[in-house]
A and B are shown apart, each in its own frame.
Chain A
Amino acid sequence: QVTLKESGPVLVKPTETLTLTCTVSGFSLSNARVGVSWIRQPPGKALEWLAHIFSNDEKSYSTSLKSRLTISKDTSKSQVVLTMTNMDPVDTATYYCARTKISGLAVAGYDYWGQGTLVTVSS
């Protein structure tokens, strides 16, 4: 059974750094072409992709947030970690991790998602 679960602080102050952890089970982060993305959804707004990491450690970042994001993985712990620096109230959102679905050799959406974690940025 594939599951993903996000964990991290529920409240961060402006200018602080957010660290979120996605713990996966039912698959290995070392399997070929396995990948995990972080996606967020501000209240009342659309889903926004943030970053992705593949099993070969290939990484991608949102163009607009690239300077603030770092994604990494610890295969032995089955965890994917996202850090976002210089948090602002506009970063208040539910943050999700999701596994990429691979069809053929290409990404075809996300087949498993965590339940999400709400992060509020406020002083």
Chain B
Amino acid sequence: ETGVTQTPRHLVMGMTNKKSLKCEQHLGHNAMYWYKQSAKKPLELMFVYNFKEQTENNSVPSRFSPECPNSSHLFLHLHTLQPEDSALYLCASSQVDRQYNEQFFGPGTRLTVL
């Protein structure tokens, strides 16, 4: 595997379900990100982890719970979601201790909440 991978690619869940999204980066980076992209809207930054520590939570509801066990893996735990949470969830990684740090994105998980 190369780059940034995300599983599953598609997920349909009910409002009472609990599910998790997984992201893995194979680039040796030290920062990872979760973004949300709703239909016809720009990407919204949700969470940032630098060196496994959460450094940004962009006022995300508590029904989204991130977990970063190491610098290569990032999870987004989902529970009691609402239909308006249906979106494309994107993971990215970067190397933050460089002068410039382009982010590399995974293919995303298309989430549908019924």
A and B bind: no
Give residues in A with beta carbon < 8 Å to B: none
